[in-house]
Structure 1
Amino acid sequence: MTSNPVLVGDGHLPLRDVVAAELRRLILDGSLRPGERLVEDRLAQQLGVSRNPIREAMRVLEAEGFLDVVSRRGAFVAKLSARQADDLFHVRLALEPLGARLAASVEEPETAALERAWEILELVRDSGPGQDLDVLSTLHTELHSLIFEMTRNDYLIAIAIPMVKRGQWLLRQSAPLQDPAAWTEHHGLIEAIAAGDADLAEAAARHHVLSVRSTLRPRLDPAD
Structure 2
Amino acid sequence: MEQQVEVIRTIGADHIALREQVLAELRRRIVDGDYAPGERLTETRLADDFGVSRNPVREALRVVEAEGFVEILPRRGAVVATLDETAVRDLFAVREQLETLAAGLAAERADADDIARLRQLCAEARAATAAENFDRVAELNSAFHRAVIDVSGNRWLRSISSSMYHHVHWVFRVGAAQRAPHSSEEHLRLVDAIEAADPTAATAAARAHVAAAARAALGQHPTP
Q: How many Å apart are 1:49 and its aligned residue?
A: 2.3
Structure 2 residue aligned with 1:42: 45
Worse overlay, 112-121 or 180-189: 112-121
- C-alpha separation between the residues in 1 aligned to 2:67 and 2:35? 16
Structure 2 match to 1:190: 191
2:70 aligned partner = 67
Q: Is there any run of 5+ residues in structure 1 with no aligned partner, and where?
A: 1-10
Q: CA deviation at 1:43?
A: 1.3
Alignment of 1:72-221 (within 5 A): 74-106=77-109, 109=110, 113-176=114-177, 179-221=180-222
For residues 24-64 of structure 1, the C-alpha deviation after alignment (integer angstroms, 9 at most, x for no partner) is 22112222111222212221222122333223322332333
**1:124/1:136 contact within 8 Å kept:** yes
TM superposition shift of 1:214:
2.2
If the length of structure 2 is used for normalisation, what is the TM-score?
0.81
CA-based RMSD of the aligned residues comes to 2.6
Structure 2 vs 1, CA of residues 58 and 158 (structure 1 numbering), >3 Å: closer, same or farther?
A: farther
Contact map agreement 2:100 2:203 (CA 8 A) in 1? yes
Q: CA deviation at 1:70?
A: 4.8
Structure 1 CA distance for aligned equivalents of residues 204 and 179 of structure 2: 25
For residues 134 and 194 of structure 1, the distance between their equivalents in structure 2, rounded to whole angstroms, comes to: 28
**Secondary structure of the residue that 2:35 maps to in structure 1?**
coil
How many equivalent residue pairs? 210
Q: Distance in 2 between matches of 1:176 and 1:214?
A: 15
SS at match of 2:24: helix
The 1:40–1:212 alpha-carbon spacing in structure 2 relative to 1, beyond 3 Å, is same
More helix, by proportion: 2
Distance 2:26 2:114 in 1: 27
Farther off after superposition, 196-205 or 57-66: 57-66
Structure 2 residue ranges without an equivalent (≥5): 1-13
Q: How does 1:24-39 map to 2 (within 5 A)?
A: 24-39=27-42
Displacement, 1:130?
4.5
Could you tell which deviates more after superposition, 127-136 or 80-89?
127-136
The Cα of 1:181 is off from its aligned counterpart by 3.3
Q: Identify if the C-alpha distance between structure 1 residues 164 and 111 changes in structure 2 by more than 3 Å, giving closer, same or farther.
A: farther
For the structure 1 residues 56 and 179, does the alpha-carbon distance in structure 2 shift closer, same or farther, using more than 3 Å as the test? same
SS at match of 2:98: helix
Aligned-pair identity in percent equals 39
SS in 2 for 1:37: coil
Pairwise CA distance, 1:131: 1.9
- Residues 61 and 104 of structure 1, relative CA distance in 2, 3 Å threshold: farther
Instruction: Give yes or no for contact 2:138–2:176 (8 Å, CA) kept in 1.
Output: no
- TM-score computed with the length of structure 1 as normaliser: 0.81
Q: Deviations over 1:165-198 (max 9, x none)?
A: 2121111113435642331110111222233322
